[in-house]
Structure 1
Amino acid sequence: MDLQETAQVLPPLGRAWRDPWVVTRQNADPAAFAQDESLFALSNGALGVRGGLEEGDSASQACFLAGAWERTPIEYHERFPGFAAHTDTRIPVADGTRIHLRLGDTPVRLGEGEWQQFERALDLRTGSYRRQLRWRSPDGATLLIDAERIVSFDSAALLAIRYRVTSVDYTGPVTLESSISTARSATEQGDDPRIGTRVDGGLATIDAAAGDSVAHVLQRTAHSDIRVACMQQHAIIDDSLGFRLANLAQHGVMQVFEGDLAPGKSVTFEKYVAYAWTQPGGADTDAELLARTASALIQAYEHGYDALLARQTQALTQLWQNADLAIDGDPVTEQALRFNLFHIFQSSSRDGRGSTAAKGLTGEGYEGHYFWDAEAFMLPAMVALAPDVARSMLMYRHGTLDRARAHAREMNHARGALYAWRTISGDECSAYFPSGSAQYHINAAVAWAIRHYVDASGDDAFLRDVGAEMLFETARIWLDIGHFNARRGGAFCIHDVTGPDEYTALVDNNHYTNRMAQRHLRDAANVARWLADTAPDSFAELARRIGLEQFEIMQWQRAAELMYLAEDAELGIFPQDDTFLDKPRMPARSAGEGKRPLLLELHPLTIYRHQVCKQADTLLALLLAGDDVTVAAKRRNFDYYEDVTVHDSTLSASTFGVMAAEVGEADKAWRYFQDTLRVDLDDLHGNAAHGLHMAAMAGSWQSLAWGYGGMRVVDGELRLRPQLPDAWHRYRFGIAWQRGHLRVEVDRTGVRYTVTRGDQLHFRHAGEHVRLRQGESISMPHRAPASDASLQAVIFDLDGVIADTAVVHRAAWEQLAHDIGAPFDEHIAERMKGVDRRGSLEILLERAPHAYSEREKRVLEDRKNSYYVAQIECFGPDQLLRGARSAVESVRDAGLRTGLASASRNAPLLLDRLGIAELFDYVVDASRITHSKPHPEIFLAAATGLGVAPETCLGVEDAAAGVDSILAAGMRAVGVGDATVLARAEDILVGIEAFDIQRYISGQPNDRETSSEVLPNHCSGPL
């Protein structure tokens, strides 16, 4: 039986869901092993070990050190000033996991035997990876192999393994060959630039030795001048094994142990592997490196595996206490969230010399580089759950500040600092500047992270000692790449940058960049004033050292105040950049084109010429810095950008999910949450084998806390507005805040807050200020988002709301259908409802006997209109729906403006016939718009004509397309008619006579009614 076949006879995945603390896999298919090696990888922020099998020889198994990387020159056919000169690539180091077996003289080759039972398990409480294999050799010997490992949080880089082999039916000698392997080199890059690289050099062995106690290898990189020592030692359990020999292997070193097996008998040893390394060009001698590894091994040997495991469990206790996570009714999601948080925590640096790479320390994707997502995605999760880790990530940025200054000079900035787009050492490693160096927004991400950390932790000392310098130096760059533009009324405009959406490059006024730069500049100016007031000596010394003048600080404030943040009047959205809305949309891809992103299929210029987003861009700006943007405006931007975003980046789904929750799109919030939650567990993007997606993992926590929990930090204040997904009975999460801890429990009755740690915490629940002392709890009701602005106008639809002309339209279309021999039924009539004349004609012609030219279509439109106009000539006030006139008059009596938004080009004529034309302040019909409902244009045009903001408007409609149009415009929606059809409306009325403007002014909509609608009288007579 081969490995593929054994997967069919193994027990089903059951235990994984019974225990939300343990993630298990029982897949014995080698094709899935590379993904599982990523999923079961262990790390401590310095050392990462993929979850391979000790006795296996997987080509994708590897060990990594955050501090071990090679520098390779970047070759250009045409090189210009400022282009990145080299790339840093994190490379595999010596692998200390290897343990090969022999039964007698026969080597155990797992692929040649029968896998009778196999399971991997990652215990999230203990931080340990366990696996068990019941294996039968081709000769009939059956073994049970148990292995468990940890990567210690207590040591700089220590791997500990407990390894046991038990005989089921074998009698005879067994040999365990424990080795340190140097055979693994960096993966070569194929056709996907995200995976692998071309490394010039790499690690070469400069010393190796093996004895009866320890064995070691010493390696050195060719160009980065980093040396790495790896040493191993063993502890034999119950004298089950004896040392046989030690020697040098072709690729590494080996120590060999022998024992005897009989049915039911086991041999067990513990293997400890320690690593030490230098900084590039470090002064540590080889002897000092080896002494450090030897010291770590001595301590590990003295403690023993059980003690190390207990210490590992204790190290994770604080994380899980802060996370305080539980979901009643959904153990699968609870487990996945814990799994994601565990990986972010263990992959994040703790020594201030590194951050969190895009793939953590779980694989070779993206060369081990740090990007802006470390600050924008991973750090917020750590701020709430492990603030010390977040501080360490920022200390890495401070440690590379001089390299950021050097990069700024490469980019022709005389002062300031520009952080590298992708890096390990601090130097820019992106060879493609349009989507690399041009992403200046990384400076704003670092600045945002500093403020977020300080607000949440209260660590003012960090801000004073290192944060202020980072803020000031990075803020200087904005004044270089932008200017006060007289052609835009003196607004501060930023030029030729690339935002988070890498499918749009080198643009002016990228909204994300401008909005985040505004926050950065404002914060830098505020911190300068704060530091001058609270620590004048420190401020004076820093200002002297970096040459900071008062005029610069004033310029930062002025640029922030005058930052150009355009809003499109027609669509009511923030354009992603100055030209984004002028481009055609990218044609939809067919379902058979697979998971490959556009960047692997099309030339960049082809992508740049289209209105298409790789990931959230403008929406992310509204999430991170949109405190002053109304919920209605956020909804309009959400609706628009959702249509043009392909989510080729795993960073994207969490932002859309959080924003969906905020704007009331519950179903979409859940779908996006699931996408970001299980990116790696379900391998949704098909590349988890190359390492896990740290930003997506962090995004799943953001979806919980920021999305469903409504968490935001505004002006240093914690704010929450929790909601409960339909799929859950209740849930709980925790937030570390200001040296305290807040537990948030949400169920169907409301929200309960408890301070579990800290003297006193202040926060807001749905805008209401709350103050709690340690041990105190308070229960509060759910509160929907408050209306952003007072009601100023009501915009009515005409057909079906003011007068029921639908039957007249229907009769006219039915007559036309009869004329041309096209079918006409209830389904077609319903689809036409709320649609303009051309759109309705296209629906009618879908099943017409033959095709029509554009000229012929115009003739048909005119014919249908003539039928309609002839019928409405007999209309008068009697054809108003009952209560329509009083509804409009009540709006005017309340001092509000009235508008009409009708898809009919005959709306002015009909209003005149009905005798109510004078009741409307502004009328928009199909002749004034380009897009028909459900596009928001018609309601946005009405708001513009009325001179009011869309979020101050209430729309009244009888068609589903009309309700969608109102909501897309960011207005409140009232439906008139069938509740099942108009379900998205805030309120649904049986008929317009039930309309009560005072309820909407007071923010208390009517209860929904679902009885049949009121039918009007109609003008009689044949068409």
Structure 2
Amino acid sequence: MNQDYIIPNAWSIIEEGFEKDRVKSSESLFSIGNGAMGQRANFEEFYSGDTFQGSYIAGVYYPDKTKVGWWKNGYPEYFAKVLNAPVWIGINIEINGEQLDLNTCKEVKNFRRELNMKEGLLDRSFTAILPSGLEIEVNVRRFLAADLDELGAIKYDIKPLNGDAKIVYKSFVDAGVKNEDANWEEIFWEPITTEIKGEQAFVQARTFKTHFNVVTFMENSFSVNNVKQTISPSAQTKTEWKVEFTYELNVKANEVATIQKFGGYVVSTNHEENELINAAENVLAQANEIGYEQLLTNQKAAWARTWEMADITIEGDVKAQQGIRFNIFQLNQTYSGKDARLNIGPKGFTGEKYGGSTYWDTEAYCLPFYMATKNQEVARNLLMYRYNQLDKAIENAEKLGFTDGAALYPMVTMNGEECHNEWEITFEEIHRNAAIAFAIFNYTRFTGDQSYIPEAGLEVLLGIARFWKQRFNWSSDKKQYVMLGVTGPNEYENNVNNNFHTSYCAQWCMNYALEQIDHVKYNNSEDFVRIVKKTDITEVELADMKEVASNIYFPYSKEHGVYLQQDGFLDKDLTPVSELSKKDRPINQKWSWDRILRSAYIKQADTLQAFYYFEDQFSKEELEKHFDFYEPLTVHESSLSPCVHSIQAATLGRMEQAYTFYLRTSRLDLDDYNKEVHEGLHITSMAGTWMSIVEGFGGMRIKNDTLYFEPRLPEQWEEFTFKVNFRHQILKVIVNKEGTTFELEGTEPLEVYVFDEKVTVQPSI
């Protein structure tokens, strides 16, 4: 049974009623971020119940020593951990000598939490009866400024309802935090200094090993019934980890006492280490000059600009509408595209799982979203992130025995080094290389940018192609090249031979690299000379690569008419998922790993992932045959699974199935399909949700430098719309029961195709 407490709403995520057993799930769902930092929706006040404290700063990590039973050659020495950052939101509250703690109140009524996605605001309200019987009404608003991205703001109102109150506020910043997922129970931060300057507090801490310096800061102000109160702290306490200011405020019944708190982080990646406190003072000075109300206005305006381009509207289905906006909102909270040093972690700023690092998800799923809803510079930054780490990718391959400039990009990384510590993924889930090469192809065909490949991309393609050439070996039995010992996207089968997805992608990568080498040679001669000198390409090497690519073995079943996921797949029991008992689901929580590995059950699209990438290389009949063979065996226990299947079901005209998969991908976290939302959200798969509408129901493809559409409207919807920024022209697509229409921003007409019929879209006046 999926959770269903989130109230359907087109623009907000809403929870009503206080339930202690869902606090951690809600902390994930109501997370906020601004691209530079983010935090789970922890309460500002003390909470003694079950909670998962989490604040995070983009790009700040720690190399936690790998914890394994035994060591293997080539094993990464550490697993990168996104760090639980110092706390700035803390405001512990005592009222008439009693601590405000929702876990111990006599009663909590009218509890309501709302994540306003339209404006980037987190609101919480409740009425609480304290053990003494005093009843209070509380309203809290928090946001992380989208424009001034080192700043957050809190406005916390308390109204005593049935008596006067002496309210004691203990507002603090605290660097004494731990990660829940620390391998060795280590502390990742060391204190540097704490300072108090008037009403402002600063705590400077540094990460061990990586030496990121962070100053966490705060400033508080007060009002009663919106009238500013000038009060000084009654106490200031300072330790090496923490600064706390204590304030006292006396209010009568039905008066509203307000604490307003500014806080946030400044980081040594953006400022000189010895200037961090000055930088924090400057942020607070800007905040005070702008003022809370104007900051709030600016926040709404910034999110309006984001939604103007990124929004997808759905008429007639509020849960579907809520789902897609939640996905788009979280993607924009996680990565803004402003900083080319950053990337998109699978949990974003919502949890610690997966280390907050870069996975192949970025290239396979996220690039299309950012490319189409922002601009090609943002997308190019994501590609440059990998180019800038090419030397590390070559080092990673060398550690595994590869030579001559072969590059293996890491499965998980923060700085280009591999830092994943499960051998069957670290050494064998090598299809991540293909996703990076495909992203270069995908970017080029969408943007028309002909400069990236000669300037940077060709070196990446060559390194990847060299890896694939060496990774195959000649089978004297089959008289073809084979690829042994890999793990495909289906992580429920490890160490298999001749995984179709991996081998097909490898073949494509080599052919694409050879094609682009020729293109650069004849069209960008200066770049070609530079690359040859840098990489030592020879004609003999290219001829050998071509020979390998032209003679690769792919397992195939004549009986079923499908490429087999890998050798021996038909030796498995092919009982479909539909015949599995509900008590066995999800199998990753109910079965032993041994049983999973021997089953035919598929975690996510594997063979079908190759059909997704290279759709134009297969007929629709081939797609249908493979979809009908593999989807019934797929348990969809990866967040990345439903979106690909939704797109392919829509392509095949199976709209009910496509819609079901769409709801699953768009509401994966809201409805907690995988029973793990308390750990954080599935940020990177949210980009797949966007793809399921744009590429699935919208049927958008790029062919011959032109946009093609095959729109299909789910029967549950009256209409849906989306926008794409295609080669600096912003096209809005409107699909409803009457057909498909377009609106174009700009001055030049745009030719598109709808079901292969050419349509000339004129710019809107």
Give the TM-score, by structure 2 length: 0.92
Contact 1:68 1:228 in 2 (8 A): no
Are the aligned partners of 1:348 and 1:393 in contact in 2 as well (CA < 8 Å)? no
- Asked if the contact 1:573–1:636 (Cα under 8 Å) also holds between the matched residues in 2, the reply is yes
| Shift of residue 522, structure 1, vs aligned partner | 3.0
Secondary structure at the residue paired with 1:661? helix
Residue 199 of structure 2 is aligned to residue 207 of structure 1 = no
Alignment of 1:838-987 (within 5 A): none
Contact kept, 8 Å, 1:741 with 1:758, in 2: the verdict is no
Contact 1:212 1:246 in 2 (8 A): no
AA aligned to 2:125 is: Q
1:353 corresponds to 2:335:
no
| Equivalent residue runs for 1:596-635 within 5 Å | 596-598=586-588, 601-604=591-594, 606-635=595-624
Q: 1:315 to 1:758 in 2, by over 3 A?
A: farther
Classify 1:463/1:123 alpha carbon distance in 2 versus 1 (closer, same or farther; 3 Å). Answer: farther
Which one-letter code corresponds to 2:374 in the other structure? A
Task: Find out whether 1:707 has 2:696 as its counterpart.
Answer: yes
Q: Does 1:378 align with 2:370?
A: no
Give yes or no for the alignment of 1:430 onto 2:420: yes
The percent of aligned pairs where both chains have the same amino acid is 27
Q: Please list, as runs of the form range in 1=range in 2, the aligned pairs for 1:240-639 lying within 5 A after superposition.
A: 240=229, 242-244=231-233, 245-248=235-238, 252-278=242-268, 286-348=273-335, 350=337, 351-387=339-375, 388-414=377-403, 415-483=405-473, 488=478, 490=480, 492-557=481-546, 559-585=548-574, 591=581, 593=583, 595-598=585-588, 601-604=591-594, 606-639=595-628
Give the superposition deviation at 1:497.
Answer: 2.0
Give 1:108's aligned residue.
100
Q: Residue 122 of structure 1 contacts residue 128 of structure 1 at CA under 8 Å; is this kept in 2?
A: yes
1:327 touches 1:728 (CA, 8 Å); kept in 2?
A: yes
Once the two structures are superposed, residues 717-774 of structure 1 have per-residue CA deviations (whole angstroms, 9 ceiling, x without a partner) of: 4321011111112221222211112211112222112223463434322223334342
**Contact in 2 for aligned 1:679/1:685 (Cα 8 Å):** yes
- SS of 1:774's partner is coil
What amino acid maps onto 1:303 in structure 2? I
Q: Does the 8 A contact of 1:74 with 1:431 survive in 2?
A: yes
Cα deviation for residue 521 of structure 1 reads 2.5
**1:61 partnered with 2:75:** no
Maintained 8 Å contact 1:340/1:698: yes
Q: Per-residue deviation at 1:95?
A: 1.1
Q: 1:868 — aligned with what?
A: none
Counterpart amino acid of 1:172? A
Aligned to 1:133: 126
Deviation of residue 362 (structure 1)?
Answer: 0.7
Tell me, yes or no, if structure 1 residue 83 matches structure 2 residue 75: yes
1:95 is the counterpart of 2:87: yes
Matched residues in 2 for 1:584 and 1:202: separation?
A: 47
Structure 1 window deviating more from structure 2 (203-212 vs 662-671): it is 203-212
What corresponds to 1:874 in structure 2? none
1:429 to 1:748, Cα distance in 2 relative to 1, 3 A: same
Q: Give the Cα–Cα distance (whole angstroms) in 1 for the partners of residues 438 and 747 of structure 2.
A: 25
Q: Is the 8 A contact 2:89 2:173 kept in 1?
A: yes
- Give 1:105 shift: 3.2
SS in 2 for 1:243: coil
- Kindly provide the amino acid, as one letter, of the partner of residue 277 in structure 1: V
Aligned with 1:180 (options 162, 170, 173): 173
Q: Which residue does 2:139 correspond to in 1?
A: 146
How much has 1:156 moved relative to structure 2? 4.4
* Partner amino acid, structure 1, of 2:509: H
- Partner Cα distance (1:93, 1:751) in 2: 48
Of 205, 209, 213, which aligns to 1:227? 213
User: Does the CA-based 8 Å contact 1:435-1:498 persist in structure 2?
Assistant: yes
Using a 3 Å threshold, how does the CA distance of structure 1 residues 52 and 729 change in structure 2: closer, same or farther?
same
Q: Any gaps of 5 or more consecutive residues in structure 2?
A: none
**Is this contact kept in 2: 1:70–1:199, CA < 8 A?**
no
Q: Structure 2 CA distance, aligned partners of 1:526 and 1:311?
A: 48
Tell me the distance in 2 between the aligned counterparts of 1:216 and 1:549.
Answer: 58
| Distance change >3 Å, CA 295–CA 501, structure 1 → 2 | same
Tell me which of 18, 26, 30 is aligned to 1:36: 26
CA distance, structure 1, for counterparts of residue 523 and residue 280 of structure 2: 45
Please give the alpha-carbon distance, in whole angstroms, between the structure 1 residues aligned to 2:443 and 2:246. 50
Q: 1:13-42 CA deviation, whole Å, 9 max, x = no partner? A: 89x54x511221113112111111111111
User: TM-score, length-normalised on structure 1?
Assistant: 0.70
- Whether the 8 Å contact between 2:396 and 2:417 is mirrored in structure 1 is yes
**1:72 is aligned with what amino acid?**
D
Cα shift at 1:199: 5.2
Is 1:734 matched up with 2:723?
yes
Structure-2 separation of matches of 1:505 and 1:699: 25
- Quote how far apart the aligned CAs of 1:268 are: 2.4
Task: Give 1:324 shift.
Answer: 4.2
Matches of 2:479 and 2:684, distance apart in 1: 39
Q: Contact between 1:586 and 1:610, CA under 8 Å: does it hold in 2?
A: no
1:672 aligns with 2:658: no
1:651 to 633, 640, 648: 640
User: 1:209–1:247: 8 Å Cα contact kept in structure 2?
Assistant: no
* TM-aligned CA deviation for residue 122 of structure 1: 1.2
RMSD (CA atoms): 2.6
Q: 1:256 to 1:455 in 2, by over 3 A?
A: farther
Between the aligned partners of 1:278 and 1:548, the Cα distance in structure 2 is 40
- Is the 8 Å Cα contact of residues 673 and 703 (structure 1) preserved in structure 2? yes
Matches of 2:482 and 2:199, distance apart in 1: 66
1:684 partner amino acid: Y
Give distance in 2, aligned partners of 1:622 and 1:73: 38
Whether the 8 Å contact between 1:324 and 1:743 is mirrored in structure 2 is no
Query: Secondary structure of the equivalent of 1:627?
Result: helix
Structure 2 Cα separation of the partners of residues 458 and 297 of structure 1: 43
Shift in Å, 1:698 = 2.0
Higher relative contact order, structure no. (Cα contacts within 8 Å, ≥ 6 residues apart): 2
- How many residue pairs get matched? 751
Deviations 1:98-117 (A, max 9, x none): 11112243332222222121
Q: What is the letter of the counterpart of residue 521 of structure 1? A: M
**Cα distance in structure 1, aligned partners of 2:457 and 2:297:** 36
Q: CA deviation at 1:489?
A: 5.7
* Unmatched runs of 5 consecutive residues or more in structure 1: 1-11, 189-195, 777-1023
Q: 1:343 to 1:594 in 2, by over 3 A?
A: farther
Structure 1 range deviating more: 265-274 or 39-48? 265-274
Q: How far 1:595 sits from its partner (Å)? A: 4.5
CA contact (8 A) 1:212 1:255 kept: no
